[in-house]
Copies of this chain bind each other. A is one copy, B any other.
Amino acid sequence: MIIELDLQSELPIYTQLVNQIIEGIASGQLQLGEPLPSVRSLASDVGVNLHTVNKAYTLLKQEGYIQVHRQRGVVVHPDGMPPVTESFSDKQHGELRPIIAEAICRGMDKAQILGIVEGLYNEITQKREGN
């Protein structure tokens, strides 16, 4: 999977790594149980420090997206993804709320906002044929 970093972004590098790996899983580009590069090789590939990749992997592991298998290394969690917990829903609502409020302020109506979300949903899931 191709990982592209924007070093000018306000988003921390480890957050960009987390986001892209999660999107890779969501899009099907990364299958359950599929191995991920080692912290050192990924760090070398994208040109950052080993600790930056390690922080991203640690977060993904804590949330249950990946597993560190003593033999197989780091893999996308083979037993499936974490469920929709209450704390996840709370976090999701807290992130969505200001985005929706801002859209309303700028004059977007319900249909327009839902259209944007649906478009992004399709964009992510329709990568599954591409690779």
Chain A residues at the B interface, C-beta cutoff of 8 Å:
19, 22-23, 25-27, 65, 81-84, 88, 92-93, 95-108, 110, 113-114, 116-118, 120-121, 124-125
**Could you give 16 example pairs across A and B, Cβ below 8 Å?**
A19-B101, A22-B101, A25-B105, A26-B100, A26-B101, A81-B106, A81-B107, A82-B105, A83-B107, A84-B103, A84-B106, A92-B99, A92-B103, A100-B121, A100-B124, A110-B118
- Report the minimal beta-carbon distance from A72 to chain B, rounded to whole angstroms: 20
Number of copies: 2
B120:A100 contact, CB within 8 angstroms: yes
Interface of chain A, helix or strand or loop or mixed? helix
Once A107-B81, A117-B113, A118-B114 are accepted as A-B contacts, the answer to whether A22 and B100 lie under 8 Å apart by CB is no
